Structures are given as C-alpha cells and as structure tokens.
Structure 1
Amino acid sequence: MERILSRQEASEAVQDHGWRYMLGGLHTSVPVGTLAQAISLAADAVAVCGDDADRHLHVDARPDLAVFTLQSSDHAAVTTRDVELARRISATAEESGLLPEPGLGTGAPRSVQVMEIAIDALDISGIRPFWKAVLGYADEAGAEGPEDPLVDPLRQGPAIWFQPMDRPRPQRNRIHIDVSVPHDEAPRRVEAALAAGGRLVSATRAPAFWVLADLEGNEACVTTWQGRDG
C-alpha cells in the first residue's frame, strides 16, 4: 500500500539510485547527446511508470539533459510508489547506457536543484494578489489561502513564498532566492559562493539553510531537507 515517506526515508531510499530528495520531490538528471535521445529516455520512463506516470512523473527533455521529478500528486509528497518508480527509471536509463547524475559529473555544470523566491512582507494577504497577477501564477495545489505560496502553472518559473515580518526593514532587501540543493552538495555550494566574494550572514540553522550575501548585502539561502522538523 502506498505510504507517505519522511524526508529521511525518502532521501535514503533513492540516494544509491542516482536521485536526491528536495522540496517534497525526488529529482535526478541524465546527461544525453541529443534531443531525440532525451525524448526517447523520457518515453521509456513513462512506459515503466505505466498508469502512474500522470500522477507521479514530470520530465524536462533537452538536447543535452533529461530532468526527472517524482512526487505523488494525490498526496503532494513522496511516497513508497515514487521510490519504486525512481528505481525503475534509473534501471531503464542504465540499460540505455546512461547514468543519472544527482551530483557534479563530467560535462555537468552542477547537479539538480530547485529554486524558490521568498518575499518578506508585513501584509502578505495584501501583496500576494499583485504577485499572482504580475507573474501569471496560480495557487499551489491544495493551498488557496491568502498567505499560501504561488506556483507557475506551466512549471517554468520558481515558486514564490511569503515570509512574515514583524516590523519594516527599509534598509534591507526583502526579496531573496532560496536555492534548494542535494544535502551532500550544500557545503560545496556554500564554499563556492564564499570563494566568489560572498559572505556568510548566518549558519545557525544549517544544514536546513545557510544565509549568504553578496558584496552589497543582497541575500540568498542555500537550503537542504536536513535539519528540519518532520
């Protein structure tokens, strides 16, 4: 019977099969040589997922890369079924002579990641309609409240979430990017950002997130599933 997995369970179940758990989903990328090869691999993945493909699988096929995401649309979470499908897709890729690359590999500029944009606000319900309209975004599935996140209905842009403020902060940026990366890649990403001229604002919540800033104080967070409740 399909069961929702904890973050720890989901991560451990697929890590040895070339997948990583991030933001409620399983993710992997497979380097390919042509768009035709990417589409062929995507078709194979749909075939091995069978009737579950429409409710679990998302594919982004490109000339040099096929990116796969698994999440149960019924539960908006990773389940035991997603893990089984991830293993099937990995086996199919390997049969085609291709290998999933969740981490940095030959020819890969980086691993899989998921981006979100966070907007700090005193009145979230007051500003949320503006961002929904100007971006052409929609309510997150199952979440239609006045302070809930917004998502791109075409899955092209990052999700938007809103962080409450208790007082105005006119001298500090109030929009920042959250970069969710595989837990085993996060330290390397933080080191690279610091080596590129960034500074560490806070690591008190690491490994859930590190707060970094550029030379002018604009912030970004590198985040993982680790160190969070649940």
Structure 2
Amino acid sequence: MTRETSDDDVVLSAGHITAAVGDLGWRYVLGTLRASIRLGPLWQVAEVATELIRACGTAADGCLRLDLRPGRLELVLHPPDPAGLTGRELTHARTIATAAAEMGLPLEPDADGRRSVQALEIAIDALDIAEIRPFWKAVLGYADEPGGGGPGDPIVDPLAQGPAIWFQQLSGPRAQRNRLHLDVSVPHDEAPQRIRAALGAGGTLLSETRAPSFWILADCEDNEACVTTWQGRD
C-alpha cells in the first residue's frame, strides 16, 4: 500500500487513493470516491445515512453527498478543491467505512446486484465551443465548473444532480457522425466486464488505443459512447 501523507491539503494521485481505500469498498471514479450499502426500506436507509453523517461530523459537509433510495444508500466523496481529493477526504472515507462495518454494513461498489457505482458525463462535439457553451449553460440551468469558467471549460449542475457537460473541439464538420456521446466512468477493475456486456449487446469497439483511460464503442447505428477509468490519466 502506498505510504500515507500526513498533509491533509496535498492532492493525491488516483493510484494512491485506490491503494489507500480501495480495499474498504470505495472506488475511485471520475475524481470522486464512491461506494454503496445494501439496505432495506427507506427509513432504514435514512437511519444509516444519519449515523454515517454523525461519524464524520460537520467537517464532511463540503465533500460528502448521499443518494438515498429504498434498498440502497450511495455515498460520494468529492473534492472541495477542484485540484482533486486530498488526505482529508481519505480520512472521511476511512471513518465512514469503519462506522458502516461496526453496524454490520460493509461498503461495496455493487450494493443491489444491478450495477456498480459509476459517474456520467455528456460530451458535445462542436466547431465553435465558445459560441454554443452559453446556450447549454442557460438551457440546462448549469453553472461554471469550480475553478473554471473559460470559454471552453465544462459546465456542471450546481445541485450536483445531473451529469457534467464538456465540449470536444471538432476540426471540421462531420455530417455522418453523431456530435453528442456519453462518457460512462466506471471503477477501473470493472471496465472490461462493462465493455464485454456492451459488445455482447450488439455494440462495436471502435478504438482501444487510449485504454485503459478510455475505450470508444458504438451501437449498431454508430452512436458512440466511451467507457472511461482513472487509469492512464495520472
């Protein structure tokens, strides 16, 4: 395991983060740590969520997000600093894992047998990003990404409920290719299975030259999607 840093303000690499808390049930996905807990009715989900929040205290208010659904609690630790996750968030990750284990509820990326944790981005190909970006920002009610705001920067949901939107520069018109595709960020060790499932469902692998950073796939009508991981990006 990678040696731990004692400086909570140091931004950590994806490899360091995975080595530090991956065995606790957390998965590093698209700059965040994500995990789930399999539970029962919604009242139980709410009670467990409350206990985990209490374990972290108010210090986690700026980095912890919870999604409560009957049968499942999903946890996300995101970086308050746009530069990335630090030792402070790793401390919260360990605290949550310990508190959950003491309740007999281990963290796991797949808590309901349907799919693992993941993060979704939408990419829009554009000839003039600066011209179309204000439209998408306005029509979605989105805001500038923290630390961003430039004419080519991504835009995000200020309530952190919708996927981030980023813009990819086109070198010229592409009449025969879709100009909007999905980026599905998954835990690095689950990408191969996700790709096999997509190919088994009639998809085509267009490119793996940038794997394991991302693979480009397409459906039978050539609509594209990228399966991405943190690997190859540090």
2:155 corresponds to 1:150: yes
Aligned partner of 1:46 in structure 2 is 53
Supply the AA of the counterpart residue of 1:43: T
Aligned residue type for 1:10: I
Preserved CA contact (<8 Å) 1:125 1:146: yes
- Residues 37-96 of structure 1 show CA distances to partners (whole Å, capped at 9, x for unaligned) of 211122122112113111221111111111111123135521111111111111111222
Q: Would you say 1:173 and 2:187 are equivalent positions?
A: no
Q: Which moved more, 1:51-60 or 1:208-217?
A: 51-60
Q: What TM-score does the superposition give when structure 2 sets the normalisation length?
A: 0.93
Q: How does 1:170-209 map to 2 (within 5 A)?
A: 170-209=175-214
Give the aligned CA root-mean-square deviation in angstroms.
1.2
* Runs of 4+ with >2 A deviation: none
TM-score by length of 1: 0.95
Cα distance, 1:156 vs structure 2 = 1.8
- In structure 2, the residue matched to 1:31 is 38
| Uncovered stretches (5+) of structure 1, i.e. residues with no partner | none
Identity %: 57
User: Aligned residue for 1:112?
Assistant: 117
Compare 195-204 and 83-92 and name the one that shifted more. Answer: 83-92
CA distance in 1 between counterparts of 2:79 and 2:192 reads 29
TM-fit CA distance, 1:149 = 0.6
- Cα distance change, pair 224–197 in 1 and its aligned pair in 2 (3 A): same
Partner residue in 1 for 2:230? 225
Q: How many residues align?
A: 227
SS at match of 1:55: coil
Q: Which residue of 1 aligns with 2:165?
A: 160
8 Å contact 1:178–1:220 — kept in the other structure?
yes
Deviates more, 1:218-227 or 1:39-48: 39-48
User: What is the alpha-carbon distance in structure 2 between the residues aligned to residue 76 and residue 46 of structure 1?
Assistant: 24
Cα distance between partner residues in 1 of 2:191 and 2:215: 9
